[in-house]
Amino acid sequence: MDNNSIFNIGNIGIESSAKNMSQDDFQKIIYDRLQKLLLKTFNDNYQKQQIKVAYDRYQFACPFCHDSASASFKKRGNFIFKEGPYMNSFKCFNCGTYMPISKFFKTFSIDLPNTASDYLLDHQVKDVSYVPNRHEDFKNSVFNADEMEKYGIDIEQFKQIFNLQTIDSNAKNHGYYYLVKRCQFHWKNFLYDPKNDALVIINLIKNKVISFQIRSIKEGYKGPKYITISLKAIHEKIMQDDVEVPHNLEELSMLFNLYNVDVAKPVLITEGPMDSLLLPNCIAALGASKKINIGIPLYYVYDSDKAGNEHAVKALNAGAHVFMWNKIKTQYGLPERKKWDINDFFIWCNENKKQYPRLWRDYFTNDSLDMIDI
């Protein structure tokens, strides 16, 4: 049969419409399917059936976690249409689920017409290196930076509440001398509590405090090494303002330095904030066992101890990049200890007049054959 056969008309039409489909046409197609999914998922909740149409996204109750149980109007599921590395993706700012829109509909056994599927294939971002400020886009689209900033507490107000002191070369209190001995010079991340002789390690988004840790430096102190206060605890226990912190923001508030790293570069992650402040482009989690799911690959720097080694092996077997403590111990001739962390390493280098590594990437691997160097 030749190319002029009437049986080819349908195929010609489908191919043509896929190539000529606009973003608006595509959004209308998925709007209808999304609406049917929400009607089925939330058949007894009118508010959760509604879709909020914004200029660069659809916002709706997440069908994975069902969003807020107490506030039906919460719409933390997002179809992101904004041009950039996450264009045409789904992201929930409550449970953290992230995937392409095509996978979203496939997960719920919803078929897209060929035209929409072809449109998605033609509009995948294959190379994001052209994005002028990738981290700004990621902060707003995935880390929800704008909303986080609204919940943060102004640092000057925070200082006044507890009568905290600034730490820097012009304010040489006990906190200053303690930090210098530990090779810590990021003064903006520390305040000093003279009443309790303690450091306050603050996690910031711009000039807003979103969480903090208290570290006593008082001689003879026998209490817990660190006391951690999350964003939710700030509002409940300190401000006592009845502000309900969304679950996703509560979790993100416990990742130190998250809003200052550049996601276009490898992002390192340590167990503690003081370690993270010594490494390039690094965030910190509060404890090695904490599960991190923020939509970007991470380079794990666990402490070199029994628990840290177990987590490192597990992460390596899962294909993640992990820090090779045995490699750096051998190259630097570090003495045997039950535990090493990054801060210990910096202090040792300082005391022994050794240069810190210039290329930290040389000490990471995702190859299970390097297990002996973990």
pLDDT means per 10 residues in the chain (374 residues)? 39 43 88 95 93 86 86 83 78 82 92 87 56 54 82 96 94 95 96 97 96 95 92 95 89 92 87 96 77 77 95 91 97 96 97 94 94 92
Q: What pLDDT, on the 0 to 100 scale, is given for residue 289?
A: 52
The Cα 374–Cα 359 span in angstroms is 17
Strand partners, 193: 198
Q: What pLDDT, on the 0 to 100 scale, is given for residue 263?
A: 78
Tell me the whole-structure pTM to 2 decimals.
0.68
Where do we find the tokens 């820090």?
Answer: 323
Q: What pLDDT, on the 0 to 100 scale, is given for residue 60?
A: 93
Q: What pLDDT, on the 0 to 100 scale, is given for residue 95?
A: 82
Do strands 267-270 and 298-301 pair parallel, antiparallel, or not at all (unpaired)?
A: parallel
The Cα 361–Cα 143 span in angstroms is 25
